Chains A and B, each alone.
Chain A
Amino acid sequence: DADVTQTPRNRITKTGKRIMLECSQTKGHDRMYWYRQDPGLGLRLIYYSFDVKDINKGEISDGYSVSRQAQAKFSLSLESAIPNQTALYFCATSDPGQVGLETQYFGPGTRLLVL
């Protein structure tokens, strides 16, 4: 079974709709992240959480919100979807481990199309 799962895997929605992408992990990691991937731009960080009570904005948080319901669950919401939010979205987790070494574990991604 996958350690980091994302639902749904694919989603088509219309402009103005609210949608939620969900992420669950069984790795027992405190840190969780949401990224979006666009061709030619790589991965950009949307939000991250270092524990259940900690939520931080990444470089492109406008238009998004998150909820850390438990150590294992981190959800990303688009309050009012717009076409330029069409992208591949990844959830990731990490464990501090060796000081300074940042190994992140990624889910399989959610492909979102906003019409």
Chain B
Amino acid sequence: GEDVEQSLFLSVREGDSSVINCTYTDSSSTYLYWYKQEPGAGLQLLTYIFSNMDMKQDQRLTVLLNKKDKHLSLRIADTQTGDSAIYFCAENGPDSWGKLQFGAGTQVVVTP
């Protein structure tokens, strides 16, 4: 299947910005997603971006999409301790209708 790759760990100080990166291989992806998994819980959709956009902003979250390089990033401004979680990048394309391909997840640890 198609691969979605992410770095596994990110440490950030409270109040700084976090940037989580993701690369994907399916150039036909329709949407790309960021899911958040808090300790002991299931995944929850954080935000998504349509493939014909290159940026989406939602309060403290900024998603950047570079289709040429197949690179997706999530920036969290003013990172808080409540942002400590695992963040998953995911994609779906016309050949995977109704299904998502997830990356391995990036564990973000916010330190005081």
Contact = CB atoms under 8 A, between A and B. Distances in A.
Interface in B72-112: 88, 92, 94, 97-100, 102-105
Interface SS of A by simple majority:
strand
A42 B42 contact: no
A103 B48 CA distance: 9
Nearest to A31: B98
B56 to A, nearest CB: 13
A106 B42 contact: yes
Interface SS of B by simple majority:
loop
Contact of B104 (A42, A59, A96): A42
Contact of A102 (B40, B41, B44, B99): B99
A103 B50 CA distance: 13
A101 B94 CA distance: 11
Nearest to A107: B42
Interface residues of A, number: 27
> Which 10 interchain pairs have the tightest Cβ spacing?
A106-B42, A42-B104, A100-B30, A43-B102, A106-B43, A42-B102, A102-B92, A108-B42, A42-B105, A107-B42
Given A42-B4, A100-B30, A109-B41, 9 more contacts: A42-B102, A42-B105, A50-B98, A100-B92, A100-B94, A101-B48, A102-B33, A102-B100, A109-B40
